[in-house]
Amino acid sequence: MRLHAAFVMIALSFLAAPGRAQLRSAFPDAGPVPVYSPTERASAFQQLLKSSILPKLGAPVSVSPNAPFSSDGTRLDFWKTSFVLGTAGGGEAGVNFWGMQNGGHINVGFKAGTAKSYALDCRMFSAGAINYKVFTGKRAEPSPHGETALAGNHFLLIVPTLETGATVLVELWPTSDSAPMGFLGCELSTIAR
């Protein structure tokens, strides 16, 4: 019995190793995707907005598979994922891996403060674009939606908010219901106007 338990622990340790073993089953080059510094994040959103000046971003709130809830209420929800693992690098989640749980997605939820817009930066892997829907307000009907390509394994989105205190949910999923998508974490910042 002890030998069996030791084997299980060794196998689980191998699977949770920081080498991104699970993500590499669909993305052979999957390695760590660095969290942007404040300047790098502002520059990335400047390019997204096609602006001549850097946007003023507030301090980021981070959520990851290891820490899916933040002190301000920002959270991650995993829907029909193939795996969610804690790793030394912040964790990883996979959608549609190994033909399991097709149609999965990952949600980033938060409560709008006084900012009119938020900058969402998620570190991900995907062979194609990422679909998104933004649900906001009491009825939680989607408003903005579309698809966007990853930029250096970063999903960048400007999320508008309607009113202070509104609940906002951003849903992310691959463009095909069966395509794999890897997820490492998100940073959410207010955009000062």
Q: What average pLDDT score do residues 153-178 get? A: 91
Question: pLDDT digits over 30-43, tens only?
Answer: 888 999 999 999 99
Model pTM score = 0.86
Comparing CA positions, the residue from 129, 160, 162 lying closest to residue 146 is 129
Tell me the residue range of the domain where 64 lies: 2-192
Task: Please provide the distance, in angstroms rounded to a whole number, between the alpha carbons at the two ends of the chain.
Answer: 63
Both structure tokens of 139: 């009825």
By percentage, how much of the chain surpasses pLDDT 70? Answer: 85
Q: At which residue do the structure tokens 């849903």 appear?
A: 171
> From residue 54, how far is each of 41, 43, 46, 118, 193 by CA, in Å?
10, 6, 5, 15, 11
The CA distance from 104 to 94, in Å, is: 9
Strands 167-174 and 83-85, by their bridges, are: unpaired
| Chain centroid to CA 124 | 6
- Number of structural domains in the chain: 1
Q: What are phi and psi of 33, to 5 degrees?
A: -110, 115
| CATH number, residue 24 | 2.60.120.260
**Contact present, 150 and 33 (Cβ < 8 Å):** no
Question: pLDDT digits over 47-103, tens only?
Answer: 999 999 999 999 999 999 999 999 999 999 999 999 999 988 899 999 999 877 678
